[in-house]
């Protein structure tokens, strides 16, 4: 599966991550913790995408410029695991985009 395919599935999946707006509005510590956790989680996304690309292209994830030492079955197994992580990360990204859009609107009023 390509990165774009995973993104589209994550973004259109019927079970999206819900935002607890009541708690965000009423508890400044919760809001800060929420923002910190999500932004830290999203910093990992580019690295996970690189790992997926390297697995897809048959490259070593560990050693730059080398072919993978994994057999095809192992590559598929690890790709599936990485794709699951990407799915979750893209859902977090989609939720974060919704959160930022609402916060930008609220702050502009």
Statement: residue 109 has pLDDT above 90: no
Tell me the pLDDT of the chain averaged across its residues.
Answer: 95
Statement: residue 5 has pLDDT above 90: yes
Residue-level pLDDT at 69:
94
- Of 65, 70, 42, 36, nearest to 55 (Cα)? 70
- Of 12, 95, 96, 82, nearest to 49 (Cα)? 82
In the chain, what percentage of residues exceed pLDDT 70?
A: 100
Per-residue pLDDT of 35-73, as tens digits, reads 999 999 999 999 999 999 999 999 999 999 999 999 999
Contact status, residue 79 vs residue 56, Cβ threshold 8 Å: yes
Residue-level pLDDT at 75:
96
68: number of Cβ within 10 Å? 18
Residue-level pLDDT at 80:
97
């Amino acid at each position: 599966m390509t990165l774009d395919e995973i993104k589209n599935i994550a973004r259109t999946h019927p079970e999206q991550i819900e935002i607890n707006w009541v708690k965000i509005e009423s508890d400044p510590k919760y809001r800060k913790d929420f923002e910190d956790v999500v932004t830290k989680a999203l910093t990992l996304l580019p690295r996970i995408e690189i790992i997926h690309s390297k697995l897809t292209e048959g490259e070593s994830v560990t050693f730059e410029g080398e072919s993978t030492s994994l057999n095809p079955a192992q590559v598929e197994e690890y790709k599936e695991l990485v794709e699951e992580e990407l799915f979750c990360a893209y859902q977090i990204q989609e939720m974060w985009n919704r959160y930022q859009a609402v916060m930008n609107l609220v702050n502009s009023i």
